[in-house]
Structures are given as structure tokens and as C-alpha cells.
Chain A
Amino acid sequence: MHKNRNKSWLSVILCLVALNFSFSLFAEKITVENAKIENFVVEDVPGDLGSGLLLKWKPLPNELKILEYRIYRGITPDSLFYSGSVMLNPVVGFAGEEISFLDSGFKPFVDKSSPGRLVVDSKVKPLDEKTFYFGTANNGYPRDLEVLAQANNKFSLIAQIEKGVYYSRYEEVTLDEQLFAGYPLGNVSVLARVRSGVEYFYSVVPLNETRKYLRPSEVVSGTPISDPLQKPARELYSNLIVDGSTPISLNFDWENATGSYSSQAAIYVFDDELEVTKSYFEATEENPYQGKEPFILSLDPQINEYGKFSQPIISENGAYFLKNEDSQLMIDLERIEDYQVVIQADNGQTLFLKDTPNSRYQSIQTASLTDLPQVPTFNVYDVPNDKGDTQIVVWEKPLVEITKTSFHEKLGKFLIVNYDYYDYQAETLKSFDLKLTLEGQEKPFYETDEFYLDNVIKLAVPDDYDNNTITAEIIIKTNNPDTEPYTLYQNLKFDKILKALIPSAIVKNNIALNSFNYEVYAKEGSPQYVTVAGKVVGKMNNYSDVISYERFLYESVIAFDPESGKVLVPGDIQVWYDGKTEKSLNLSKFASVSKEKIATEITTVEEEIAQITDPKHKERLENYQSSLLALQTELNNNISNRKWIGIVKNHRNNSLRQKSYKVFASNNRGLFTSYELPLNEDGSYQYFTPISNQFDYDKLAGLLASIIFAILVAVYVNLAKKGVDLYIRPIAGIQEIDNAIGRATEMGRPILFVPGMSSIGVVATLAALSILGKVAKKAAEYDTRILVPTRDFILMPIAQEIVKEAHIEAGRPDTFDKNSVFFITTDQFAYVAGVNGIMIREKTATNFYMGSYFAESLLMTETGNITGAIQIAGTDSVTQIPFFITTCDYTLIGEELYAASAYMSKEPMILGTLKAQDYFKFIILFFIIVGTILSTSKITFLLDFFPEK
């Protein structure tokens, strides 16, 4: 093995030498100085409406160790601004033939981090004197409106404005007699995208691993071309839905081609030969269509959004018809498979059902009503305990799914079943029964009532099990007493490769849930439904819709205006959306303009009311009108822009966050059902706004526990301060401490006391110091020297004071030596080296290690062992306790350190806290024991009271 490796090294070296040699023979060596970027081209990205350019160039050789290619872009060939980069790893280099950079989409253009004035990127050495490269490490254009004004109309620009700024920092600016809102440049981030028809100039500058700038490339230009990618629909499906032998409807389901800019205009149904049908679309005036007239269904934008439509079939005198205002077609059920269905895009291109990619569906399929998915009747709930930015659409009862299984062969053969559950607060899973039956057997071999939902069930595999398929029956009980328990089925089939039972899809009411998806649509701010969730898999029973509070607002930039010193954006603003009438009110950011606009709005509504006969609709419109009038009164009071925008902001916050939903259940092959919530009593749509909650009930347990504990702490610390005698049990270690001091006295050697590695303020250090006081007192009584090295210079004087006090208390102030308490160094290892030196030099008889310790503890205790000292440790640093236990003669573990110090010194802070903790622990213990007894006997309310995360 090792030999091979050597050989490969050798061959690599040989190759490298050979490579070097060939380079020097045939080519001029490329160096940092003469490296040149070749084959640099700028191309339009096809089919993208002219919103992007693609830059390509040949990478420089890897031995130049290129770190970055910086891209500079300009609207004139002589001034280029930094606009992005391609990063590489200089060690590895780039393997491909060509490096590309896509300049498309909105990218940062100028914002607050941009340089304040025009900066020439001085590290770039232009190829000629006329070309200038501008920018800093991360930015191109400066925050200089004079410079930016050149970019007006040359880029598509968007301003991203913080909410606070958006409502407060704009001014009226008139440009070309139009009124705009002007924002200070420093407060907006502007994003830019290339525009079709504008010529852009690019240059690439390579940087090597030491950030040395190499020679820039030539300046090359490119122009994005507005060339929309228009394609016909990609897939089309059609289903005839029948109830027994009665046709109900003809369903269409289609999908647009990805990236296409065309939408669908109409669907045609022909009762004719394919060839004849084709001629319909090729017909001209000279060469008219000869066949039967088709049924034509024109598709509006809303239907286009859904991508599916159900055309009812009308029965007249025993015959069935497709019928609408434009056309009608008789349907012959016998020949339904011979009908032709065609979808036509708005650019005239067509897709025939015969040509749809999926061969199984190339003619109209007949399906029974029972094949349709269940209607997704849903409810909308507000998410409790939240800020009010999420609401949840729930269409299905709680589900339990077996997600995976595995065999476990330790002390018998076991099957581990992992499950997941999907539920929602409005109706949650309470428990479920799991019954497992072997294929072909009647009686289940395993039954359990899973009341504690821990996502796993472990069971013993029956002896006669031989990789048979297992049927799992899951009977679900929810917390809703009105819901009858219902059953789900899953098959667990043995897989030879995976050596596990693979769960099948969940079957409910004989329908496999995974054969359908859900699609959620919502309307918000306009009467059209738009998609909010594409394909929610069939086993999910809900969709959480996040309706964020607005943080940024986006406006297109009209111009950078150096004259006013502002960035100009349109003055219009949507004031509200009225869900009752589905009307959106668009006024202006300026009170004066709004005043004019609202007047016209009111007249329009008045005219509309005059025409309407439906009393409910009329009433809604009248309500709307009165709110408009109220707004007008406010505007007529000649309010300031500031006050006006305050009103607008309020309306926006209240009305722009409401949504109404529609859900489709669909197999995406023409079988679908949909559901909308019923209308309100006044005939308007049901709109929902998430609610901002004031109390989080999930945190109730935490809050109660904190209050109880706070009271305990406050009470016991005060009691301890008052000197009330609080009992602490004797700690075994204290006896050991006394013995150890005695031993040092017998041997006539000093005691070493290490007060930990932490500073004052850490509880362990405080505890260590109070133990030091007692140890020092004992030592003074026995007249034994005590050495206290500290790692913290603030700790040193405090420790000195404590030892001095102790000597005084012991009646031996004369024996106190100030130099026995000293500072070594703050560095961890150097401190340990110092302490070890003391142990060896002074031959200490007893070593105390009290306080908090880190990785270094072992170094000290080991030396102590070698010198043969008795060692006593006490620490709350959990990671170090094992080492103290194995290397020391006695160890105070964790809180024992506090207890020992409280026992010895009665320090009120430590003593009081310890007592409070003790009583709180008692409460906890009580709950644990009671809770366990209850939960084991299947009563889980106490368990559930405690938080799960």
C-alpha cells in the first residue's frame, strides 16, 4: 500500500516536470504581468424578455492562482463600475473551459454602504488611458446623484425602502410637471437590472491569491434583446366525469411550459378526425375550415391561474351538450375517446390532447364521480400564541403516518416503528390504536394504545414471522368529542435491498392519500385568486400561510434627481382593500392629490350604486361609499401630508393583511375538486386576518414556575441575611477537609489552596473563597502555612483580606504573611506551570482545589499525586469532576461545593439560594413522581402541562 503511494507521488512529480518542460518549449510562459483574458464575449440570454446578459471568457491558467474575477459594467465604454465577481479557490483553480457570469435579475446597485463619492479603483491598470474603472471592494456606483443620474432610463431600477422611512421621509418633487415622492438617497437601497435595448459595456479584471490585480480584459459590449419565450402548454389532460351513465362534466387540466411568457387563451373540443381538426388552426380566408364547428371555451386570467376548469354537461331531450354563449357541441358518450381537445395559447400556438407527453392520457378519459378526490372542505384558523402573522388553512382531520421501520436484533428480534402525526390545534390527535396483522391472518398479532406520542413504537416480532407483508390499522381518536374514531391503513412490505418493512401510502376511506395533492389559492388586495402553495402532498392536512407584517416596501425608481437631491418614486399608494366589495382604493402619498382622486372615486361608486339592483350588494357598496366619504371629510380639512400618510398607514395595516382562500384537491391529471368558503350573510366573501395574541399559553408553566422560584429565592436569601438558622445537612467532605489540614500540621509542611480559574462574580469562586476563610482559620490555629496562588489580579487582594481575617479570628494575626497570597499570571497554562512549581518546591502536604476549572485541572492534580500530597477538590465544572475523582482523595461534586461552603461559612447569598433551590427541587421531585405514576396509568394531563420544547 505504502509503496504504491510513493510511486504515485513520483509519477505526479514526473508529470509536473514534463508539463513544465513542454510549456517552456512551445509557449511563452504566462506570468502575472502578461496574462490576458481571452475569448471574452457578452451575449443576450435568449427568451428572457431582455432582462439578462451572459458573460463568458476563458479562464486564466491555474498556476496564476486566480482568486477572483471582478466584473465592471458601464453604459459608456470609458467609465465602468464594479458590479459583481466570480470567486475561485486559488489552490484548486478552475477546471472548465469557460467561466461565465450571468448579469440578470435585480442586483444591488447603490445603497448606504456605497462610497460617498466617485472612487476610481486605482488597483486596476486600464489598457488605455481613456477607460476608467470605478468602485471599491464591494461596491460600484457611488452615492452621488450627479453620477447616478446617468443611469436614469438605462437600467430597470427598484427602490427598497424600510417601512419607517417609507412613511416618513419623502418629499414632493415635481419633474416634468408630474408629482413624485422623493426619498433621500442614503435611506433607500436601489436594485438594478439590465434593460432591453440598452448597450452595456463590460470588462473583467482578474485578481490573484495575494489580491494583485492582473491586466483587465478588453471592453466588450452587449445588448439585451426583448425576446419573450412563448411556448404552448406543456401538458393537457381531459376527463369526462360520469355518475353511473349520466355525464356530469368535462374536466380540463393543463400545465404551462416552464419559463414561458405565454398564457392560455382557449380550449377547443372537436368531434372530428385529428387531421381535420388540425386544419381548423391552419385555415385562412382562401382556404376555410371544412369540418364541424368545435366547442370553444375561452379562458380568463383567473382560470389560467388555476390551470384547470370543469365544464358542466347539459342534458336536453336525452342528448348531452357542451354549451356556452359562443358555441355548443353535442357529446356522444360512446365515441368520447375519438373527440379532439386542443388548448391554444395567446400567441396562437396549440397543444393537442393527442400530443400531451404522457401517453396514457392522450384521449379523453372517463372517470366516475367516486374517483374524484374528496372535496377539501376547509376552515381557516388563526395560529394561537403568535405575533399575528400566520393563519392556517385546515382541510383534513389529524393523520398518523408510519414513516419508517427497522429491525433490531439485540436480546430478541424487535421491530421499531417510527411514526409521524399531522394535526392542528383546532383538533389535535389525542391517542391512536395501532393494530398490526400478518398477511393472510385474521387476528392482529400486535395491538397497542399509543397515548404518549413519542413517535416510536417498539414491539417484539412474532416467531412465525417470515418477511410477510404486515397490515397496519391505525384508529385515531382526537380531542374533539364529536369526532368518531376513524381508521387509516398502511401496508408494510418487506424490501429485500433495504432489509426493512417499507410503509405504503396512507389509505383513508379506500383512497390512497398520496394520489392527490392540494393546491391553495388566496386573494389579497385584489379580487383574483393567486396561488400560495403549489403542491401540498396528500398526507398534509393543513397549510400555514404566513402573512408578514411589511418591513420593506418596493417602488420602481423614476429617476435619480440631482436637482432636488432625491431618488424619485411614483406618488401613488394603495390605501386599502375592501374585502366586502372587493375594491381597492388607490390614492396618492400627497393629501392634495388624494383629495382630487377620492372625488372621482366617489362619483364612480355613486354611478355603480345607481345601476345595482341586488339589495345586499347595494348595501355593501353604500357602506363602502360612506367610508370613502369619511376619508374625504378628513382630506377636506386640509390636513398635512404627514397626517395624511399616518391615516393611510393605519388603513393599510388593517386592510392589506386579509385573505380569502380556495383549495383544490387534484391528481393533476384532470381529476379535481375544489372548495371555497360560503359567503357571509351580506353576500360578501369571507376574509381572514391573523390576530396578534397577547399571551402565550405555551409559556404558562414556565411563568408559574419562575414566579414560585423567585419567591423562594427572595424569601430564603432574606431569611439567611437576617441570620435565621437554616439547616444544611453535614457534608462528608468537611470532615475530610479537617483531617487533611491535620495531616499537613503533622508533617510540618504547608497547605496549597487553589481558588479556581474564574474571577470573582462566579458562584463557584465565591464558594471557594468562603471555604478558604475556614481552611485558613484552621491552619492559623494549627500554625500551618497556607499558600494561595491566584489567576485573577482582582481576586488576589480579596483573598489576602480573607486569610488575614482568618488569622485575626484564630487569634494569630502575627503569623499572617501577606506574600502567601499572590498572583501568578492570567494565562491558563502558565498559571498551572506556576502552581506545579510551588507544589514541587514547597512540598505541600495538602492541596485544595476549589472553584471552577477547565481543561488544565489534570496537570495540577497529577503533579500533586507525584509529590504525594493529600488532595481535596470541589468544583461545579461538570467536565472536570471525573478527573478530580480519579486523581484526588476526596471530591466535592457540583452543588456539594456550595453546600459545604454554606455549611461552613453561612454566607447568606449562597445559603439562601441553596435552600430555595432545595425546596424547589422538592416540588420538582413531587411532580416527577406523581407525573410518572399518572402517565404510566395512562393519565397524561400533568405531563402535558409541562412544555415539550
Chain B
Amino acid sequence: MTGWAMALFQRDLRLSVRIGGSALVGVLFFLAVVTVIPFGVGPDLNLLARIGPAILWIGALLATLLGLDRLFQADREDGTLDLMLMAGRPLELVILIKCLAHWIATGLPLVVAAPLLAIFLNLDPVSMGAVTLTLLVGTPALTLIGAIGASLTVSLRRGGLLLAVLVIPLAIPVLIFGVSSADAAIHDPVPFVTPFLILCALTLIAAVVGPVASAAALRFSAD
């Protein structure tokens, strides 16, 4: 990594660690979602084990969406975004690095927390590992897709809800293949590798489409 990229990465990571402990809030929200589900569907452990991967994925999706609206907004409000546009660095890369830092600060803690929460859902060790692995591969895609929504709603004062509405349809494929591959590892006859590789491909696609689209949106937003 060249110097500027490292500087940006460190700055974003520092900011998210120092401001409000966004990682902690995300994990708490994740915990809250997972806790609420049994109250809805009943404490049937077999049922919970069956839908466990889905619950964890939906929890992770919601927790990721929750923190995304500040991804560019904070920088826009204090004028930093204007200067970033003029910095002479490729904006797509800037966004990719910001997403990476954001994922490490908010997405990775979710992945780390997932095995623990899987215990509540009566998942066996194999599925626990499978869910965690799919989350590790899939949550970056959620952040990258979410970056598009974040840059589109950057100028809106209350863009958080709209962001979720815009991003969720785009995130459906990630959710489908994330849950499918986790399920495949547990009971279905489908091999684990097939959906898992598609999930990896989706993340790679998101790593291209996300930064390109949100760079375009951010350039227009400076107007």
C-alpha cells in the first residue's frame, strides 16, 4: 500500500474506533436482533438450529446497514469530502479503502461475534464455522454495496432509512448465497463449495461496482 492509502486507512480506522465505539454498537444491535427472534418464533431449538444461519445473516445485514449512513456523511459535513475530491487520488480507490476501514471497524466485529451468537441458536460446530466463514466473505460485499446507497443519500439529512430501502434489493443475492452456502454445509445435498464460490464472486463484483458507482455519485454530490 502506498503512503496516502495507508494514511487514509489509518485515519478512518482511528476515527471509527474513537467516535462512539461504532463496532460495539453494531455488535450490540446484532445481539439484540438475534435475541428478539426466539421471542417471535418460539424457543424451539430444532427450529432455531434450522433457521439459525438465516437469522445470523439477516442480523448482520441489518447491523451493517445501520452504520452505513455515516460512511461519507461525516466527511461531507465538515468539508473533508470536497478536499478528498481534489486530493489527486483516484476516488474509486479512496472509496474502496474507506469501505475496507469501515468493514474492519464494523463488519469484522460482527463476524467475530457470530460464533458466540450461534450458540444461542443451537448451531452445531460445523454450521457455526460455515456461517462465520460465509459472513467473513459476504459482509464486505454488504459494505461495498451499501457504499452506493451511502453516497447517493450523502446530502440527505435523514438518509438512513432511504439508504436501507435502496440497498436491500441489491443485497438480496449476497443474502441468498450466504445463507445457501451456510445451509449447504449443514444439511442440504448441494455441495458447500458451489454457493460459496458464487458468494466470493458476488463480493468481487461488489468490490468493482460499489466503488465505481459511489465515486460517480460523490462527484455529483459536491455540486
B and A form one assembly? no
- B residues adjacent to A (C-beta < 8 A): none
- A residues adjacent to B (C-beta < 8 A): none
